[in-house]
Structure 1
Amino acid sequence: MNKLTSILMYGLTGTVATASFSSCKNMKKEEVKKPMNIVYIMCDDHSFQTISAYDRRYMQTPNIDRIANEGVRFTNSFVANSLSGPSRACMLTGKHSHANGYTDNADGNMFDGSQQTFPKLLQQAGYQTAMIGKWHLGSEPTGFNHWDILVGQGDYYNPTFIRNGEKLKREGYATNIVTDVALNWMDSIRDENKPFCLFIHHKAPHRTWMPDLCDLDLYEDVTYPMPKNFYDKYEGRIPASKQEMSIIEDMDLVYDLKMADKENEIHTNTGLEGYGRYLYNALNPEQKAVWDKHYDPIIAKFKKDKLSGKALAEWKYQQYMHDYMRVIHSVDRNVGRVLDYLEAHGLLENTMIVYTSDQGFYMGEHGWFDKRFMYEESFRTPLLVRLPGGKKGDVDEMVQNIDYGPTILDLAGVQVPEDMHGVSFLPLLRGEEVPEWRSSLYYHFYEYPAEHSVCRHYGVRTDRYKLIHFYNDVDCWELYDLQADPSEMNNIFGKPGTEEITKQLKQEMLKLQERYDDPIRNQYKD
C-alpha cells in the first residue's frame, strides 16, 4: 500500500482512532489526532556508563538525559549479539542473528536486504522512512524512501557518504554532518503530510575516538577513576584470558591514541600503526593545524617520559578515556540540536524519540576496550525513550534490541509479524502493568577467529544469574551470580551448591533456543 488511505493514529494518551487520510482536511483541527512519528538515534559503541542518566562518574550528558527525564530509562536493556553489524540486523528484523542470517562482520558478509524488516512494514502502512549515517551492513539499504549513509565504518573527518546510490564526500566532522543531513531531511525533503520514521545513526563513539576539533581540550584537567578490575587476571575464565582487546596489550599508540609523530619515531607491533598515520594524513590543512596544537605537546611529553609497565598502562587508559568522553560530548551536543529542532517545529507532541547504542562497551573494566563478550558492559546497552503522553521514570523489565521493531510497529498501528522473535514493549512505555513479561534473555556471539579473539559463545540471563557456554574452539561454561558478583569476576560453574541453579538455567537456555529455533541446540545438548 503506497498511499495513506487509512491509518491508525495515536493521540497523546496512546488511544487509537481510525480516520480516512483523505478526509482529514475536512475535519476540525481539534478532532484530528496526529499519527506518531519516530526519531531513532543510535550510536556505535556508546557505553551506558558514559551517560549521566545512568552513571555520573565520568561526564554529564544533559541532552541525552533530557530524553530520560521527559520519558523513560530502561535499566535492563540488552542486545542479542554484541557486534555492530549483527546488532543492527537484529534491530531491523526483530530476529536473532541465526534467523536474519547476519551473524558476524566477516569480510564480504552482506545483509540480505530482500528479507522482511520493520522499516519495510512501516512503508507499506504509509510511513516515510529515512536512514542517515552509519549503516555498516555491506549491502545497500532497503525499506527506506531516503538513505544517506557512511561508507563502511565511516571516517570521523571528511567522510564519504552514499546518498540513494550516489557517492559524495563531505568536509567536516561526522557527528555534525550526520545531524545536519538528518535535520535537512526533516526540514526540506520529507512529505509533511505523512508520518515518518527517521534513523539517525552516528559513527561515534566507535574506535578510534577522534574528537571534534572544538572539543580537543575538553576535560584536560580530569583524571578518570580506574575500574577496580582493570588489572584482572582472568582466573577461572579461560576465554577471557585469550582475548585481544586489552588496553595494556592491544590498544595501539598510533592508531588508537593519536601518537602519529612527525619524526616517525613511535612504532607499534599491532599492525595498525600505518592506518593510524593515514587517519592523521586524511585531515585537511586547517584541521591538521588545530589537531597538532593539541596533540604535538602530548606526543613530545610521551617521548620524554618513556613510560613502561603500570605507568604506561594507566597513561593509555587516561588517554583513551579523555578522547572517548570528548567524542560523546559532541554526540550529546548534536542530540540537543535534534531535540531543539523537534521542539521548534512543533513535532515533540507526536514524535517518539529513542536514544540507544548498537551495544555496550568496556571503559577499562577487566582491562578492556571493545565489546563482544556476554559480560554486562557489552551485553547491556543504554535505552532511553520519550513517548508523548507516556510513562516517565524507570522501566526495570528486561528488553532486547529484537524488541525495537515490534514496538515501533505497534506504535504505528501495524500488526507485528508472528515470525519476529522480539515483543513490543509499548505497554511498558505507556506505564501499563504487564504481569507476564519475559524472565530471561538469550544471547549468541559468532565471530571467531577474528579481530579481538573473543571465542564463540551463547548464554542465558535472568534477573540474577547468567550462564554462558563458550564453544567450537573451546568447550567451557561460566556461571555468575550477578547479585553477589556484579563485576563477573568469580565463575561459580561447577562449584558445590550450584547444581540446581545450573540445571534450571540450562533448561531455560534450551527452551529459548527452541523458541527461537537456534540450530546450535542440536549440537551442544548437555
Structure 2
Amino acid sequence: MNEIGKALLGIVLGSCLCLAAKGKPNVVLIVSEDHALSSFGAYQGRFAELKPTPELDKLASGGTLFMQAFCSNAMPAPGMATLLTGKMSHANGVLEEGDKFNGSQPSLPKLLQEAGYSTALFGKWGLGTEPEGFDHWEILADENEFYNPLFWSPTGKTRFEGYATDVITDLCLQWMQARKTDEKPFFMMVQFNASRQPWMPAIRHVSLYDDVLLPEPENLFDDLKRRAPPSRYQEMEIGNNLDLFYDLFSPKPDDWKPAEALSSNLVAQKNVLRMNEEQSSAWRLAWRPQNEALGRESLDEESLVRWKYQRFAKNYLRCLKGIDENVGRILSSLASTDGSQDLIAYTANHGRFVGEHGWFGTHWMYEESMKIPLILYGTALAGPARKIVESSLAQDIDVAPTLLSALRVPVPQAMNGKSLLPLLERNASSDEQNASAPWRSALYFHHHSFPEEQMVPRHYGVRTASLKLIHYYQFDEWELFDLAKDPEENLNLYENEAYQKRISGLRTQLSALKNQYSDDTDPSVMPEEWRRIFRGPDARKNNQENAP
C-alpha cells in the first residue's frame, strides 16, 4: 500500500465527505485518455461478455448513456482542451500534442469558480502550462509515468509510490476528505492516463484474462485496398508497428541498443527501472510463463499477429480494469451514499482501435477512433433517471455547456457545443425518431497534425447519421462511407456513381460546418514533390523532417 493509501485507511467509502451548498450539487468529471467502446460493457461491444467495466456499467445503469457520442479531434491534448472550453481545437488553440493551452480563455473550471464552486484537478494534464481555474491541482509531471509517478502541484513536486491510476484516486479522496466540513460545492476533474501506449496494467491485473482467448475483429487482417491511400501509409499496425519488447513486454532482444531507440519506445523500460524491488520482481515473474512459451514457438507471420493482438488487447483491458476500479472508489466516496445528489460525467478524449483493420492506434475520423463513451448521472439532470440516447449525435464540445446548463450557469456564446439537457428531457422511448426536429444533423471533425508518430494525415470531415465524408486535404484524397450498410468502414464509395449526388450535398454541408465553426485552416493541396515523400517506398517517420 502506498503512503497516500495508508493515510486513507480510516475513511469509510460510503460516508458523506462533502456537503454541497443548498441547490448546488457537487460535480465530478472523470476522463480517460482513450476508451474504445469495444471495451466498455454498457456499449455491448466485442468484449462485453467479459464485463470489463462493472463500475462504469453501474453508473450507466442509473444515468444517461449516449450511444452516438464523438470527439472532434482524436488526440489527447486537443481532447482535454475541448472538454475544458467547449470549443473545437482551432478555436481553443490546442491543435496537436505539444501545443500550449491558453488558460486565459473562459473554461468550465473558471466559470464554476465564478459560480461559487471549489475546483480541483487530479491526474493527467498534458497541456504544457500551469492549470488555471483550479483552486487545487495535483497533476502528473510526466503523463508516461505509470509506476511510482512524480506529481506537480502549486507547492512543488512529489513522487508517490504505487500505480498511477491508484495514486490519482488516492489524491482525489484525500482532497475530498480534507474538505468534508466545507459547505461550498465542488467541481473535481479527474483524468486517468492508464489507457495510453504501452498499456502497462497494475501488477494485480497482469494475469487477468490469461485463460481467455479474446474474440478477434473480422477485419484484423484487412489489406486496406478498398480505402483511400492514407490508411495504407499509417504507422499503427499490430503486425509491423507493435514491438514485442517495447510494447508487449516480451524478453529483451540480444541486440537491444536503447540509445538508438525512439524515446517513445522507452516508456515501458523507464517505468520498469523506476519500480522498487518488490514491484520489479512481481512484474517480471508475471510475464515469464507466457514469454517463455513464446520463445519455444516458431510462429509464422499471421500467428505472430494473432499473438500480438491477444497480448495488446488483454493489456488494454487490464489497464481499463484499473481505471474502472478507481472510478468505483470515487463514486463510493461522493457526498451521498448513492451519489444521486451529485452530478457525474464520464467520457474520454478519444476512442482507440483494438485490432480493427489490424490497428492499435487512434487519431482518425474512423468510428473506432472518433467514438467516445459519454455518461451523465445525477438528480441535477432533467428527465428519467435511466435513459439511453440511441441516435442523437453528441460531441465532446457539448460536455462543458451541458454541465454549465445543469447548474444554471450561463454558457458563453463562444462555446461551439450546446447543452444536451433537451435530449434528457425527451421521452425515454422517443429519442431522435419521434422528435419534431433532429437534434443535430451532422458532426464536424478535424485532425490537424501531420507528420506525427502514427502518420495519420491531416483531414477534416462531416458525419451524419448514416454517411461520413473525409477529406485528406494535403493530398486531395477523399473517402465516403455508407455507415448504414458498412458500419466497419471497409469500402470507400467516393468514386461510386450512385453516391455522387449525396457526395455533392455532403461537400456543401462540410463547407457550411467549416464556416459555422470559423475554421480557417488552409486546405491547400501540397506540392507533388512533397506528396511523393509521403507516398513513396520510404514514406515513413524518417522523412518527417521534410514536412513544413
Q: Output the TM-score relative to the length of structure 1.
A: 0.89
Aligned mate of 2:153, from 157, 163, 176: 163
Give runs of aligned pairs for residues 380-419 of structure 1, distance below 5 A.
380-388=371-379, 390-391=383-384, 392-395=386-389, 396-419=391-414
Q: Is residue 403–residue 422 contact of structure 1 (8 Å, CA) maintained in 2?
A: yes
CA–CA separation in structure 1 for the residues paired with 2:58 and 2:473? 42
One-letter amino acid of the counterpart of residue 421, structure 1? N
Structure 1 stretch displaced more, 390-399 or 431-440? 431-440
CA–CA separation in structure 2 for the residues paired with 1:449 and 1:196? 41
CA–CA separation in structure 2 for the residues paired with 1:88 and 1:253? 30
C-alpha displacement at 1:194, in angstroms? 1.3
C-alpha displacement at 1:298, in angstroms? 2.4
Q: Is residue 36–residue 411 contact of structure 1 (8 Å, CA) maintained in 2?
A: no
C-alpha displacement at 1:387, in angstroms? 2.2
Q: Is residue 459–residue 466 contact of structure 1 (8 Å, CA) maintained in 2?
A: yes
One-letter amino acid of the counterpart of residue 77, structure 1? A
C-alpha displacement at 1:447, in angstroms? 0.9
C-alpha displacement at 1:430, in angstroms? 3.7
CA–CA separation in structure 2 for the residues paired with 1:217 and 1:522? 48
CA–CA separation in structure 1 for the residues paired with 2:57 and 2:270? 36
Aligned mate of 2:301, from 309, 313, 324: 309
CA–CA separation in structure 1 for the residues paired with 2:516 and 2:249? 47
CA–CA separation in structure 1 for the residues paired with 2:261 and 2:483? 34
Give runs of aligned pairs for residues 82-101 of structure 1, distance below 5 A.
82-101=74-93
Deviation readout 1:369-420 (Å, 9 max, x if unpaired): 1110000001000111112264312113111101111111111211111111
C-alpha displacement at 1:152, in angstroms? 3.2
What is the SS of the residue equivalent to 1:53?
A: helix
One-letter amino acid of the counterpart of residue 491, structure 1? N
CA RMSD, 1 decimal: 2.2
Q: Is residue 63–residue 378 contact of structure 2 (8 Å, CA) maintained in 1?
A: yes
One-letter amino acid of the counterpart of residue 375, structure 2? L
The corresponding residue for 1:505 is: 506
Aligned mate of 1:335, from 321, 327, 332: 327
The corresponding residue for 1:449 is: 451
Give runs of aligned pairs for residues 201-350 of structure 1, distance below 5 A.
201-235=191-225, 236-261=227-252, 264=254, 271=262, 274-342=266-334, 345-346=336-337, 348-350=339-341
CA–CA separation in structure 1 for the residues paired with 2:155 and 2:230? 42
The corresponding residue for 1:143 is: 133
CA–CA separation in structure 2 for the residues paired with 1:306 and 1:165? 54
Deviation readout 1:173-225 (Å, 9 max, x if unpaired): 01111111111111214763111111111112111111111111111111111
One-letter amino acid of the counterpart of residue 321, structure 2? H
The corresponding residue for 1:14 is: none
In structure 1, stretches of 5+ residues that fail to align are 1-24
One-letter amino acid of the counterpart of residue 138, structure 1? G
The corresponding residue for 2:34 is: 45
CA–CA separation in structure 2 for the residues paired with 1:83 and 1:500? 32
Report the count of equivalent residues: 490
CA–CA separation in structure 1 for the residues paired with 2:352 and 2:472? 20
C-alpha displacement at 1:38, in angstroms? 1.1
CA–CA separation in structure 2 for the residues paired with 1:183 and 1:38? 14
Q: Is residue 332–residue 339 contact of structure 2 (8 Å, CA) maintained in 1?
A: no
Q: Is residue 142–residue 150 contact of structure 2 (8 Å, CA) maintained in 1?
A: no
Confirm whether residue 421 of structure 1 aligns to residue 416 of structure 2. Answer: yes
C-alpha displacement at 1:466, in angstroms? 0.3
C-alpha displacement at 1:41, in angstroms? 0.8
Q: Is residue 179–residue 338 contact of structure 1 (8 Å, CA) maintained in 2?
A: yes
- Give 4+ residue runs of structure 1 displaced > 6 Å after superposition: 266-270
The corresponding residue for 1:22 is: none
CA–CA separation in structure 2 for the residues paired with 1:68 and 1:464? 25
CA–CA separation in structure 1 for the residues paired with 2:62 and 2:266? 46
What is the SS of the residue equivalent to 2:498?
A: coil
The corresponding residue for 2:73 is: 81
Q: Is residue 340–residue 377 contact of structure 2 (8 Å, CA) maintained in 1?
A: no
C-alpha displacement at 1:338, in angstroms? 1.4
Change (3 A) 1:522 1:203: closer
Q: Is residue 456–residue 470 contact of structure 1 (8 Å, CA) maintained in 2?
A: yes
User: % of aligned pairs identical?
Assistant: 38
C-alpha displacement at 1:273, in angstroms? 5.3
Q: Output the TM-score relative to the length of structure 2.
A: 0.85
Aligned mate of 2:360, from 365, 369, 385: 369
